[in-house]
Amino acid sequence: MIKYLIIIITTNCNLNCIYCYIGDQERLVITKDIIDKGLSLISNKTAPLHIQITGGEPTLYPELIEYTCKNIKKHLPMATIGIQTNATLLDSSIVKIFKKYNLQVGVSLDGPGEVHNTLRGKFTDTIKGIELLKRNRIKCRITTTLTSFNVSSLKKLALLIDLLENIEGIGLDMVVKKGRAKDKDYLFPDKLEIYSGIMDFMRIINLIKATKDFHFREQDMLSAYKKNKKHVFCHAQQGESIAIFPDGSLYPCAQTAGDKRFLLGHISNYKIEKYEFNNFTNKDKSCSSCNISSFCPGDCPSRNFYNGSKNKKLVCSLYFAVLKAQGVHYETS
């Protein structure tokens, strides 16, 4: 059963992020017909379902965002809807769509001005977009891609988040060796840089969490796995997510989208409601003897696939630092 449906509105983007995993492949825009067929993949109209709208940059095509949301509400009224945006193109008409359909908004923000501009660009426009959301009483969560350029600036990012009062959470994604980052080893921080950066970051995050309801995704994942060892890293790992590429091809997740090695089929003839993802693993044999194995949900399976052994364990440093910062005691070897 599909529980997480990703609709990639376009591969076009108004930014040129140096690590973008979509890369410089053909620029595509989804059609209304593909959107309709994508929504028809969901046979159970009452089961829990989240639909994520993403890109490229989806706000390049607000009419397609509204069309998608309108039809979700019509045909899948129980579904929640989210959107991931760089926030640089937000205006009153787009924000109106967000409010009308109660979208869960995620904004990509990689650090303070100079750092964000190095990695993504248009920092000022991004902040203006977040402030526009605030004026319209829309909360958002931040997604930050960890690289060697911003790992030492995470404390400043946390302080910035505290100032932007409508931000209610953050998730940290490791850079992936795909697309523009495929041959850029210099983008990968080392383990000590990650540990130090996260420790500084957590000092501010813990202060924020003491004053308001704020979610740090990786911290929440560690807690969830500790409580329930059946908790998995993502829906793709369970064969419960599908990403619809703008041309109608189907993939397990947004990160694998466009990579023909993971092609599940085409929307015109796809029938299966669950697939076996034998190419993916979120842990390896060494994980069972790790000091934090009782807490650890593993890493993103597709990230493990693309990053290979050299960068496979970087997330471990993140987890160690998060647990240390929240006072969890574990044996050290």
End-to-end CA separation in angstroms for the chain: 42
Instruction: State the pairing for strand pair 241-244/215-216.
Output: unpaired
Residue 147 to residue 145: CA distance in whole angstroms:
6
Instruction: State the pairing for strand pair 104-108/215-216.
Output: unpaired
Residue 330 lies in a domain: no
Residue 262 lies in a domain: yes
Residue 87 to residue 57: CA distance in whole angstroms:
9
Structure tokens, 95: 């924000």
Residue 332 lies in a domain: no
Residue 85 lies in a domain: yes
Residue 331 lies in a domain: no
What DSSP string runs through 230-267? T--S-TGGGT-EEEE-TTSEEESSTTTTT-GGG--EET
Q: How distant, in Å, are the alpha carbons of 69, 89, 189, 321 from that of 204?
A: 36, 29, 21, 13
- What pLDDT does 278 receive? 56
Backbone angles phi, psi at 98, to 5 degrees: -55, -45
Residue 79 lies in a domain: yes
**Residue 327 CA, distance from chain mean position:** 27
**Total tally of structural domains belonging to the chain:** 1
Residue 303 lies in a domain: yes
Question: Which residues, in sequence order, are CB contacts of 299 under 8 Å at separation 6+?
Answer: 174, 233, 282, 283, 312, 315
Q: What is the dihedral of CA 303, 160, 14, 27, to 10 degrees?
A: 10
CATH number of the domain to which 14 belongs: 3.20.20.70
- Domain of 50? 4-325
Amino acid at residue number 301 = P
Q: Burial code of 231-245, b = ≥16 C-beta within 10 A, e = fewer?
A: ebbbbbbebbbbbbb
- What pLDDT does 333 receive? 46
- What pLDDT does 279 receive? 57
| Closest to 133 (Cα-Cα) out of 103, 173, 157, 113 | 103
User: What percent of the residues of the chain are helix, what percent strand, and what percent coil, each to the nearest 5?
Assistant: 40, 15, 45
| Closest to 224 (Cα-Cα) out of 234, 213, 232 | 232
- What pLDDT does 280 receive? 62
Residue 333 lies in a domain: no
Q: What is the mean pLDDT of each run of 10 residues along the chain (333 residues)?
A: 94 96 91 96 86 97 98 95 98 98 98 97 98 97 97 97 95 94 94 95 94 92 77 76 95 93 89 61 72 79 82 82 82 51
Question: Which residues, in sequence order, are CB contacts of 36 under 8 Å at separation 6+?
Answer: 71
